[in-house]
Each structure stands twice: as C-alpha cells, then as structure tokens.
Structure 1
Amino acid sequence: MVSNLIQLPIRTANEKKKERRHVNLDKLRYYSEAEIKALRRLAREQAEVSASRGTVTGIRTWMVVDLLTSSGLRVSEAANLCCGDLRIGHGQAEIHVRNGKGNVSGMVVIPDSLKRHLKTFLLWKEQHREDISSDAPLFQGQRGKVTSQALQLIIKKCLKRLGLYEKGKSAHSLRHSYAVALYKQNKDLRAVQKQLRHVSIQSTTIYADVTKEELQEQVKGLWG
C-alpha cells in the first residue's frame, strides 16, 4: 500500500523561503512619482511655515522626507544617523550607513540637492544650539536620538494629510518608491543594488518587475 503512494518532493528550508519571498514581492507597495512629489511639496511647505514662525517641526519633517525619498535609506538607518556619517564636504556627496540591515555597513551616494539640504540643516541645528559633533544624532529628539517610530509617525501624518495613507503602505514604502524610480531612470539593477546595499541582486530584481506596465506600453506599437 505504501509503495503505491505518490512520493512528493521534499522542499528545503531555502526553497520555502524563496516561495515566501516571491509572494511578498508580488505584493510590493510603493508610491507613484506624482505621489512622492506631492509628499515632498507638502513637507517643503511645512518647513517654510516653520521657518516663518520660528518653530522646528516643519524643518525636521522636510529633512526627514527629503532624506528618505532622495537616498532610499531604511527608516531605522535614518534614525541612527550621526552628523559624522554625512560625507558632504568638498567633492563628497555620500552617507555612511553603519550597521544597516544584517549589520551591513555601506556608503550611499546622494544627489547634490540633498547634500545642500543636509548642509543647511546642520547649520540650522547649530544655530538652535543642537550638537553637531561627529557622534551627535542627526535627528535630535527631546530625550536624545529620535526613534524609528518617531520618524514613521512623521511620514504617516504627512501621508494622511494627502489622503495617501492606506493599509499595506508605510514609511518603508518610500524606500521601495526610491528604488523603482531609480531603476526607471537608468534600468541598471546593479546600481540599484549598490544604493540599497542588497547583498544579493536577487533581492533587487523585484524593482525591474514592477515596471512591466511600461514595457507593455512600449511593445504595443512594435512593427507599426
């Protein structure tokens, strides 16, 4: 009787992990270019209001939003940044991420616009008598370094104001949005892998998959 039973292949733990990953990747949630621009515009406007009133909330909000959307950092990595992690001197435009996911450290290249913003933010911190020494946290809370939860709340409030907050999306979705936009711009998975600091490029290939809609549009007119 036993010999007549169908012998099903035994899946290894690694194969099961890959299957779970595939399911998760199919459900990747990210914001469109228009939504990211709306988020950035709102945060910038809040900073302008704070500057005119001499308050701090909007200034920090715009810095957090600009940092996450222009670098692809994880929220926890942004919360753990120290002023000395910014490589924004002459001829430099990078952020040193220490102890990222899996305790992996690395450098992230940033655009000149973010570099200028970070310089301005450090000057603002200094003017408000916040410590800007190498070991001082970039984002200072009332009780020291801000938490990841505090940064997530900042993003959540902005998204709610825009009507963009929904289940399944979070501050981490900004990292996905950055990766999708970066891939759309250069179609270079290796560049995206390096910026996101993925150990394996397999983790990065999802960002090519999410732009299949564009490919479908491109092939519509093939051969007339």
Structure 2
Amino acid sequence: MKTLEAVSQPLGHLATPQPAPSTSLELMAYRLDIQARAQAWADMDEPVLRRRATEAARDMDVEALWSLTEANLLLNGLSGAKVSHHTIRAYRKGLDVFLGYAQQVGLQLLRPRPNHGVAYARWLEAQGYNTSTVRVRLAAARKLFAALRWAGATDATPFADVRPAPDPVPRTEKRKPYSETEVEELVRAGDLEEKVILLLGAHAGLRVSEIAGLQRVDVHLDGEHPYLMVTGKHQKRQGVPLSRTLAKALSLWLSATPDLGPRVLSAGSVDYVQGRVKAVCERTGVPYSRRQVHGLRHSAGTRIYSDTSDLLAVRDHLRHADITSSEIYVEYARKTKAPAVKSW
C-alpha cells in the first residue's frame, strides 16, 4: 500500500499552475499520473482512509488535502478519468484560497460552523472577485468537503446551499465581442501566429484553452470544406468549419513552422495565447479589458447570428450543449444595430 507521503509528494508543482498537456503522449502521462495518485487513496482500507483524511484536515495539510480532493474528483466526479486539466487547475487554486481563508479565521475543517460557508462567499466578494470566480472558488471548497465526507472524516456540508450574490453587471457587458472592424484591425496588425490565434477565436469561435491546445493532426485543410477537430468541454470532440481567411493563415503558419512539433502554436499555454492577444490589442489601441480572448469567441457567435438570424447555426458553430447558451448572441447582435429611432 502506498503511504500518504507517496501520494502527496508529486503534487507540489500544482501550487503554480502548469501548462496543459500539449501532446497525446503528455496527456496520457498526465492522466496516468493523476490516476496513480487516486488509486493510492482507493487502495486504502476504510479506517486508514478516514484516519489519513482526518489528520490532513486537522493539520491543514494543503498537499494531502489536495491529493484527497483530486482523488475524489477522479473516482467519483461526473467526468471520471477525463476530468480536464483546466478543471484540476481551477479547483487546486480554489482550494489554496479557501485554506488560506480557513487558517485566517480559525475555521476547523472537521467541525465548521453552519455559517462558515456563506461567510466565505461574502469574504470572496469583498476581495473583489467577480461572480463567476466566486462561483468557481465555492465549487472548489464544496469539492474539498465532498472528499472529506467520502473519506469518512466528517459529515459537514457547509457549502450545500451557498451561492454567490447576484451579479449587478448585465451579461452583455461581460466579455463583449470585438466588432468586425476591430477584428480586422487586429488581424492586420498581428504577425502570422497572432493572425492564427485571433482568427481561431473570431472565426472558428474557439475558447482560449482550445486555441492553446490545438494539435496539428487536428487541422484538416484538404478537401472542399476545411475544418478543425476540437477537444472542448468535458473532452468532447467536434468538428469546426474554417473560414477561407483562417484556412489560408493556418496553411501559411504550418508551412512556415515545421519544427514546432505536434502543436499548432509556439507554446501550448493559455497564458501564452492571452499574452499574444493582449499585445496586439495594446499595439492597435483596441480595448482588451473585460473582453480578453473570450471576446473573440463572442465575435464569432455575434457575426453568425447577424449574418443568418439562425440561433441553431450559432449553437452548432460554438458547440453549445444547450441552445439557451446561444441566446446571448441575439442580444449582442441587436446592440450592433442602429437605434430604431435614429432616422426619425
């Protein structure tokens, strides 16, 4: 049987977020790594599992608590072994924030008070976190207590009914789309790799993590209808058609960079993609704040709806699981039109 020290030892690197696995071999190694750590917990007899978890909670042992939480995510989470690197990063960061708060206020993990959950939510809001970040931080704390309950260390559920305060900012004011004029200006100003990044967002509608993780084997430029195979949320694989402009930019970039290896971009991290888009925005004076890379995806959805008035076309191109996620693009498109009273 593996000791807790063996389980926890490899986890220190997760305190600093690491780039996502960028090749099939790296992804396989990553999954085998977290599987091995989860298996170490699964192999423990119930009394040992309970004692290890209890000790970790009592001592506020960050690495052991993360190891336990990660194992429960893998063994009992909805995504199972396919839990994404992005989710792992988000929950690890959330656990670090929560444990820092717990130590600050003297919260005992094994015996939290009934109001500790809602107090943590209000503390997060007071730190200036936006509503979506508060939601993720609460989810991480919820996962920690789910892991402690799974191990038999406590039956506490301090976050069961805790939700962020309503967001006063209208959803159409968040991650606003870049206008078609702005996208054209950014693409003109970017170098070849930056053009590819911008168009993967503004034409193909890829999320920032999808842009960062795109592999050359997933780019299909031959044939009448060029397309990408994209690994999206919940590791779902779907095809995405390419515009002529993006297909041409990808063809030029891939031909110019045969030595980059399996990935499309020079670096396979979200931070790299964000940095390149931000740099082009700064050079052109196009606002990046409150839009960031995701605003390019919103540009794609808005343009499709403006051109087609077809919400299903938006859903299919952006790969939304539910058409209600596509409805915001109706609002974005309406905002780009001149006011009805303008010509009165």
Give TM-score scaled by structure 2 length: 0.48
One of 130, 135, 139 as aligned partner of 2:265: 139
**C-alpha RMSD over aligned residues:** 2.6
- Distance in 2 (CA, whole Å) between partners of 1:204 and 1:150 is 28
Unaligned runs of 5+ in 2: 1-160
Q: Judging changes above 3 Å, is the alpha-carbon distance between structure 1 residues 211 and 90 closer, same or farther for their aligned structure 2 residues?
A: closer
How far 1:23 moved relative to its partner?
5.7
Task: Find out whether 1:40 has 2:174 as its counterpart.
Answer: no
Greater CA drift, 151-160 or 30-39: 30-39
Which residue is 2:260 aligned to?
130
Counterpart of 1:26 in structure 2 is 172
Letter in 1 for 2:260: E
Q: Which residue of 2 aligns with 1:178?
A: 300
Distance 2:186 2:336 in 1: 23
Q: Deviations over 1:77-101 (max 9, x none)?
A: 0111111101211223111002x12
- Structure 1: tracts of 5 or more residues without a match: 1-12, 44-57
Tell me which of 74, 86, 97 is aligned to 2:207: 74
Could you tell me which of 212, 216, 227 is aligned with 1:94? 227
Distance in 1 (CA, whole Å) between partners of 2:169 and 2:193 is: 36
Residues 81-90 or 165-174, more deviating:
165-174
Deviation of residue 114 (structure 1)?
1.6
Deviation at 1:211, TM superposition (A): 2.6
Question: Against the structure 1 CA distance between its residues 115 and 77, is the aligned structure 2 distance closer, same or farther, given a 3 Å change threshold?
Answer: same
Offset, 1:166:
4.7
Identity in percent = 26
Q: In the aligned structure 2, how far is the partner of 1:22 from the partner of 1:201?
A: 24
Task: Tell me the SS of whatever aligns to 1:137.
Answer: coil
Pair 214,125 (structure 1): closer, same or farther in 2 beyond 3 Å = closer
- Structure 1 residue 102 displacement after superposition: 3.0
Q: Which gives a bigger RCO, structure 1 or 2 (Cα 8 Å, sep 6+)?
A: 1
Runs of 4+ in structure 1 deviating by more than 3 angstroms, as ranges, are: 19-24, 213-221
Alignment CA distance shift 1:59-1:117 (3 Å) = closer
